[in-house]
Chains A and B, each alone.
Chain A
């Protein structure tokens, strides 16, 4: 097939998809033209993922038509979609870290290099090298994926998607599902540059929560809301505010980060780091955290801020310097040590480390502080219910009840349960590790409000965040880390917030 310039590579028309109790897609139509990058935005639950799963063959639509290169088709499975030239780059990186780059690129399609049941590795790696060249990645395909940084891994995923062009007849369609969520700004630049360079070979659908990035990379943008496409606009004519308003049906409020609620923090030092260091990860980190203060740590991957966060959570103990919590020098060898000194960790992997999904809301809320509910070795179940109900009400957790499994709650409500857990344990310091990751705008605002309320009562917060904007918006104080050391420190009072460009200068 040879697509003319304005004939769409991919056209979806009137796509419908329902699940029991929810109509996930309502008559969705979407077109993708050759060499185009189309942005797809919407809040969580707007239907983006469902649409992507239909395109990648995971779900079958209930109604509607998919045309690929002008020909009606259907995708019976992910492998079938691949065969027809639709590839995916997932948000959660899907490389197998124990395999080499080359093995990853041809995972499941090694047959082409196989003679008499044996893989011709030389041919496979030679071919992998050519694939890597397409995305301008200069690594030996015999390197294990684990040895690559996140950005390079993302490029390898892209290279893997591009192998489809050797078998599919037409122009490739590549779905980029939140490809930037684990990348830092400089890495994102590189990814975008490579995507633009590949426009001659493929068309892209770019799904992201980060509206500014969607505006930056896309030619055209579809906005989804409640399972339907509510707007289609040229990127050049759109801005973040417009997109945001279309997505949520209301404007971006000036007080998004609840800045008016940002109160000056107290004088009590609750946490002090004095020349703290761990291996090669970070060194000579010193700062003081006060009651009621939110201290944001900015930095790219490898800056050491992630490891520092894990140290404070009791997951990666420090080996140099002093860590003083509530006036006492401590070493946090396990999370239990951290809980003992009233530190509460809100992890980025909410569903893995944040909550026991198969336990009830009540059991999760009381998990770190169960000791306080023990009456002569037995848990006071009545008191537990009462406490859990109080928190569910105070934090407005939307759940059928305190006995419902956390598994069935939405991301925002799950995060509220994680916060309730630490507030109930009377944590004096909260370690917020990417606290709004994967949440939609409304849920984010609720989390901001809760964090503000907690700090208003004297809880101190260490924040590492997905976006610089959030770090700046929420924090009283921002420190910047680079290559394991603190390179910059600035107050961030309401009305006198530092600007992103200045901070980036200290990050890279």
Chain B
């Protein structure tokens, strides 16, 4: 049967909605606050988006296969604590410890998800609790400020390359690597297939369990990296450093146009989504919205974005 014309048209428009939204938002904020469009402010915006983008990139891999990772903010906080606790003694190896913790946490969530057949949202919700407690215990419930000598190890995060802040460079590297993984590797293709039609992917010989574990490992790794960057930028580690980032991260993925049901999406879309979230955040600051009230907006944005990106004619029942 031929697809109804109207739906095809709408699909085409839907695809461009995130980028159009981003441009309109930037223009809107720029109109009220001309200083916003200065190169310096825009670089600041990009720097502030980096952590959110890295977190959102990781969770994009999991959402693509039709799952979710709710442990990312706890993982990022734990990573910041690990860095703060070990950098004085171990130097750069501290970053490796933090990343290794992310890999391990992702792997354990993945194994629980596929071997014990626990839904990913339960496995990662539980893992998030474990990681949060671990961060609390390790830090003795304190925020650990980095000493001046320790900050030398953070220059790869806090420095700048030819005037461009390093965090932006790191985010661009993450973008390039993640985009390649997602669009060019077998894992990327398999995860799209699993998200769009798991039974067919399985019957075609795709090792579904393995791809799910890889997705959660990538998510854990990105979360740890985000925590490392955050620790560098804020010169501290704390069990609540990345709190309030889970909601904006998932909102970024979905606002960018990746379907929460899996199968359709890309890292590029997540970049656009993360920028939208950042611009909205700054816009709210200009308008004078209390910083603690901002998640009210992000919660609403998430619901609206999910409602708009899912084509309900194709998905009759949503649980």
- Tell me whether A20 and B2 are in contact in the complex, defined as CB-CB below 8 angstroms, given that A358-B196, A379-B185 are known contacts: yes
The answer to whether the Cβ of B149 comes within 8 Å of any Cβ in the partner chain is no
Q: Tell whether A19 pairs with B4 under 8 Å between CB atoms, given A379-B184, A379-B186.
A: yes
Name 16 A/B residue pairs within 8 A (Cβ), A-sorted.
Answer: A21-B2, A334-B202, A339-B204, A345-B203, A352-B197, A353-B199, A354-B200, A358-B263, A359-B263, A367-B189, A367-B204, A367-B206, A370-B189, A370-B190, A371-B186, A377-B185
Are the C-beta atoms of A22 and B2 separated by less than 8 Å?
yes
Within residues 1 to 60 of chain B, which ones have a CB less than 8 A from any CB in chain A?
Answer: 1-6
CB-CB nearest in chain A for B6: A20
Asked if A421 and B186 sit within 8 Å, CB to CB, the answer is: no
Residues 195-214 of B contacting A (Cβ, < 8 Å): 196-197, 199-207
Q: List 5 extra interface pairs beyond A336-B206, A367-B201, CB under 8 A.
A: A22-B1, A22-B2, A315-B203, A338-B205, A356-B196
Residues of B near A334 (CB, < 8 A) are 202, 205, 207
Is A408 at the interface (CB under 8 A from chain B)?
yes
B residues whose Cβ falls under 8 Å from a Cβ of A: 1-6, 180, 184-186, 189-190, 192-193, 196-197, 199-207, 263-264, 314
Partner of A359, one of B1, B193, B199: B193
Residue pair A339, B205 in contact (C-beta under 8 Å): yes
Give chain A residues whose Cβ lies under 8 Å from the Cβ of B3: 408
Q: Given the interface contacts A21-B5, A45-B1, A363-B189, does A357 sit within 8 Å of B206 by beta carbon?
A: no
- Asked if A313 is at the interface (CB within 8 A of a chain B CB), the reply is yes
Decide yes or no whether A498 CB sits under 8 A from chain B: no
CB distance from A8 to the nearest CB of B (A): 31
> Is A39 engaged at the interface, CB distance under 8 Å to the other chain?
no
Total of A-B residue pairs, C-beta within 8 Å: 96
The complex places the Cα of A381 from the Cα of B189 at a distance, in Å, of: 11
A-side contacts of B201, CB under 8 Å: 356, 367
Contact A355:B193 (CB < 8 A) given known A313-B203, A367-B206, A378-B185: no
Smallest CB separation, B68 vs chain A (Å): 19
Residues on B with C-beta less than 8 A from A359 are 192-193, 196-197, 263
A299 at the interface (CB under 8 A from B): no
Chain B residue at minimum C-beta to C-beta distance from A410: B1
The reply to whether the CB of A335 lies closer than 8 angstroms to some CB of chain B is yes
Q: How many chain A residues touch the partner (CB < 8 A)? A: 40
Q: In the bound complex, do residue B186 and residue A370 qualify as a contact, i.e. CB atoms below 8 Å apart?
A: yes
Q: Are A356 and B207 in contact (CB under 8 A)?
A: no
Inside 8 A of B4's CB, which chain A residues have their CB? 19-21
The answer, yes or no, to whether A268 is at the interface (CB within 8 Å) is: no
Identify the interface centre among B185, B190, B203, B314: most chain A CB within 10 Å of its CB.
B203
Q: Verify if A347 is at the interface (C-beta below 8 Å from B).
A: yes
Q: Closest approach, in angstroms, between the C-beta of B44 and any C-beta of chain A?
A: 35
Q: How far is the CB of A333 from chain B (nearest CB, A)?
A: 12
A317 interface hit (Cβ, 8 Å): no
Cα of A121 to Cα of B77 in the assembled complex, Å: 55
| B2 (CB) vs chain A CBs: closest residue | A21
Q: Describe B's contact surface by its main secondary structure.
A: helix
Are A347 and B186 neighbours in the complex by a CB distance under 8 Å? no
Distance between Cα atoms of A252 and B230 in the complex (Å): 73
Closest 10 CB pairs of A and B: A339-B205, A356-B197, A358-B196, A353-B203, A336-B205, A20-B5, A378-B184, A368-B204, A367-B204, A356-B200
A314 to B203, CA, bound (A): 8
- Do B186 and A355 touch across chains, with their CB atoms under 8 A apart? no
A residues less than 8 Å from B180 (CB atoms): 378
- In this complex, the member of B3, B184, B204, B264 whose beta carbon has the largest number of chain A beta carbons within 10 angstroms is B204
Contact status A379-B204, CB under 8 Å: no
| CB neighbours of A410 from chain B (8 A) | 1
Assembled-state Cα–Cα distance A364/B186 (Å): 13
Distance in angstroms from B23 CB to nearest chain A CB is: 27
In this assembly, does A374 line the interface, its C-beta being within 8 Å of a C-beta of chain B? yes
- Cβ–Cβ contact B1 & A356, under 8 A: no
Q: Report B183 CB to chain A, min CB distance, Å.
A: 9
Q: Is the pair A358, B189 in contact by a Cβ cutoff of 8 Å?
A: no
Most buried by B among A19, A22, A338, A358: A358
Within 8 Å by CB of B193, from A21, A349, A367, lies A367
Contacts of B264 in A (CB 8 A): 358
CA–CA, A36 and B223, complex, Å? 68
Interface string of A392-435 (1 = CB under 8 A from B): 00000000000000011010000000000100000000000000
* CA of A339 to CA of B202, assembled, Å: 11
Q: Which residues of A contact B202 (CB under 8 A)?
A: 334-335, 353
**Residues of B contacting A381 in the complex (Cβ-Cβ under 8 angstroms):** 184
Q: Please, how many angstroms separate the alpha-carbon atoms of A474 and B308 in the complex?
A: 49
Interface residues as binary, A341-385 with B (CB distance below 8 Å gives 1, 0 otherwise): 000010101001111111100011001101100100111010000
Is the beta-carbon distance between A363 and B2 smaller than 8 angstroms? no
Known A22-B1, A363-B189, A374-B186; contact A340-B205, beta-carbon cutoff 8 A: yes
Contact in complex: A356, B185 (CB < 8 Å) = no
Whether A335 and B2, one on each chain, are in contact in the complex, defined by CB atoms closer than 8 angstroms, is no
In contact, A368 and B200 (Cβ under 8 angstroms)? no
- B186 near A352 with CB under 8 A, answer no
Across the interface, name the chain B residue whose C-beta is closest to A337: B205
Chain B residue at minimum C-beta to C-beta distance from A384: B189
B303 to chain A, nearest CB (A): 23
Q: Chain B nearest CB: distance from A466 CB in Å?
A: 20
Chain B positions within 8 Å of A340 at CB level: 205
List residues of chain B with CB within 8 A of the CB of A339: 204-205
B71 to nearest A CB, angstroms? Answer: 27
Residues of B within 8 A of A335 (CB): 202-205
